[in-house]
Structure 1
Amino acid sequence: MRGIRFDEPGKVKLSAIDTEPKKGIAREDGEARLAELGEELFELQALMWGAKTHSLLLVLQGRDAAGKDGTVKDVLGHLNPRGVRVASFGVPSKEERAHDFLWRIHRQAPMHGCIVAFNRSHYEDVLVVRVHKLAPPKVWKARYAHINSFEAGLAEAGTIIVKCFLHISKKEQEERLYAREEKDYKAWKLNAGDWRERRHWRAYTRAYEDAIGRCAQRRAPWVVVPADKKWYRNVVVADALVEALRPFKGRWEKTLERIGIEGRAELAAYRESLAADRLS
């Protein structure tokens, strides 16, 4: 139960990637797998928190109603809330517009030991900006290189990066938007702009394909997540996070062992000093 991973630049064709789960996978099996991944994710988070040599950045991108909020709730809900934070990026403020487009993003990057999920991200500056012609092509095209350099810098500083595109069909999006009208507890999400954006479906598809294809790196990979079924989406994202963190487990355990040895030595020296004080 994994998404389609892109870890180097190349051509991306979203129409060739299914938005539905693989055939033969039952929801019950998926939910059981999510529980297993959730336990492992919790353990890995605890090691990373203690070692404080790395951090985790989860970038969530997707069309309106793709399930970004639900992914945060259902996947990150398995973690210890200590050390977990969500940063959402809407229309830039006046202050943010007075800086380069990455200024507001870099301020939200996770510090060592912590996990931050970006609900939308710096990629909006090569998506909505491109589709709605908010900047000339010369400007937004240059941003691919800026993004790659930015993410490479984060990775060099110890940030583990996982970027997930929640891939839903146009039909599924329509059903979810209608569901918001029918359910009172979802009505607060109603936004005519979501319907207007559907008119730009193809333009957004091309923008996402270019963003994924041009900004896929080994240390900042993209995972295209089939997201028509929420339970499957959750498993795929959780699996991507575990796969990203698991290679560091041994390193973190060694760091914690060293910290433990140093702590015991410090405590022993303190007790010796107390004993010496009593004898003097």
Structure 2
Amino acid sequence: MKKETTQYRATPGGKVKLKDFSTGYHGDLKKEEGKLALQEIKQKLSSYQETLYAENAHSLLILFQAMDAGGKDSAISHVMSGLNPQGCQVFSFKTPTSNEYAHDFLWRHYLALPQRGRIGIHNRSHYENVLVCKVHPEYVLNERIPGYNKVKDIGPSFWDSRYESIRNFEKHLTDNGTIILKFFLYVSEDKQKARFLDRINDPAKNWKFSAADLTERELFPQYMTAYEEAINETSTEKAPWYIIPADKKWYARLVISQVIEQAFAGLQLQYPVLPKEEAEMLDKYKVKLMKEV
């Protein structure tokens, strides 16, 4: 099965137009074929994770962004289900707390970064600060940034500075061994509507629905503009964005797993090699253990 994922990768410095990407694309693959392929890749990811931990030189940071009902939660649960939970750190970012607002906008995200040898998964991320906040600039006022006392103070230069902060933050991370993969699960308005109705009609899913979801849905075009701008401003060679067709969840999960697999393969991870003196002692240790009653 073809595993080419460059078609989903936002070209660094390019001018991405979301309308050029299909939300429902799934190639010529059938659903059952996709599910089987995902299972095979999950086994490989488990092996890669073990080597990542043993080598203890890199960390992997995976960011998920999407509109409500975009499939972030299910993508995380399905793609990551084969991994050792001891080597993963999953964070879901909600509205900042008063303590988080008392710091700069990247502070809480820095605290959630994975250690070397581990995988960090962020369900929503520091990009909320140029997505939700760009659609609702009044939220920025909660940060109490000097010089920004009214919404009209928040102009283009503010967002340019915030994009620059994000690029610098991610460059610092990649320079120090963190591999960053950023996934935008691109879902259509029609599919979002269908998933909202499913949540309303299914009592087991009622808890997932919020009236606020409908309010934000009315701003769908504004959000697409914000996503497009964020992707164009922050997709870099070392921290690329992947625009994942998300109308078919099974296909989105497969593509995400393929991207992660290829990122792991590119690291050429190796198990640590013991120093000569320690390696020579292994036979002696073995003999000693075998003599135990």
TM-score normalised to the size of structure 2? 0.87
**SS, match of residue 91 in structure 2:** strand
**Which one of the candidate residues 254, 269, 273 is aligned to 1:235?**
254
Residue of structure 2 equivalent to 1:278: none
Equivalent residue for 1:183, pick from 199, 202, 210: 202
Q: Is the contact between residue 163 and residue 220 of structure 1 (CA under 8 Å) also seen in structure 2? A: yes
Mark the CA change 1:130 to 1:33 in structure 2 (over 3 Å): closer, same or farther. Answer: same
Which of 131, 146, 156 is equivalent to 1:127? 131
Q: Cα distance 1:115–1:260, how it changes in 2: closer, same or farther (>3 A)?
A: farther
User: Does the 8 Å contact 1:40/1:242 carry over to 2?
Assistant: yes
Aligned-partner residue type, residue 258 of structure 1? V
1:34 matched to 2:53? The reply is no
Higher mean alpha-carbon deviation, 75-84 vs 136-145, is at 136-145
Cα offset for 1:184?
A: 2.0
CA distance in 2, matches of 1:132, 1:220: 26
Partner of 1:47: 51
Instruction: Count the aligned residue pairs.
Output: 269
Q: Displacement, 1:186? A: 1.4
1:77 aligns to 2:96 (yes or no)? no
Question: Does the 8 Å contact 2:59/2:116 carry over to 1?
Answer: yes
Verify the 8 A CA contact 1:126 1:141 in the aligned structure 2: no
1:193 corresponds to: 212
- Deviation string for 1:25-62 (max 9, x for gaps)? 11111112111211111111110011110010000000
SS where residue 232 of structure 1 aligns?
helix
Distance 2:170 2:277 in 1: 34
1:15 Cα offset (Å): 1.3
Instruction: State whether residues 125 and 140 of structure 1, in contact with CA within 8 Å, keep that contact through their aligned partners in structure 2.
Output: no
| Among 88, 100, 104, the residue aligned to 1:96 | 100
8 A Cα contact 2:26 2:251, kept in partner: no
CA deviation after TM superposition for structure 1 residue 185, in Å: 2.0
2:279 aligned with 1:264:
yes
- Over aligned residue pairs, what C-alpha RMSD do you find? 2.0
Q: Is the 8 A contact 1:148 1:215 kept in 2?
A: yes
Q: Deviations over 1:54-77 (max 9, x none)?
A: 010000000001011001100011
After TM superposition, give the deviation of residue 98 of structure 1 in Å: 0.9
Evaluate the alpha carbon distance shift between residue 232 and residue 191 of structure 1 in structure 2; reply closer, same or farther with a 3 A threshold.
same
Structural mapping, 1:141-156, within 5 Å: 141-156=160-175
SS at match of 1:142: helix
1:65 matched residue in structure 2: 69
Secondary structure (helix, strand or coil) at the match of 2:137 reads: coil
CA distance 1:228–1:28, shift in 2 (3 Å): same
C-alpha contact (below 8 Å) 2:55/2:272 kept by paired residues: no
TM-score (norm: length of structure 1): 0.90
- The amino acid that maps onto 1:208 is Y
Partner AA of 1:182 in structure 2: N
Contact 1:65–1:176 (8 Å) recurs in 2: yes
- The CA deviation at 1:165 is 0.2
- The residue identity in structure 1 corresponding to 2:65 is Q
Q: Within 5 Å, which residues of 2 pair with 1:199-214?
A: 199-214=218-233
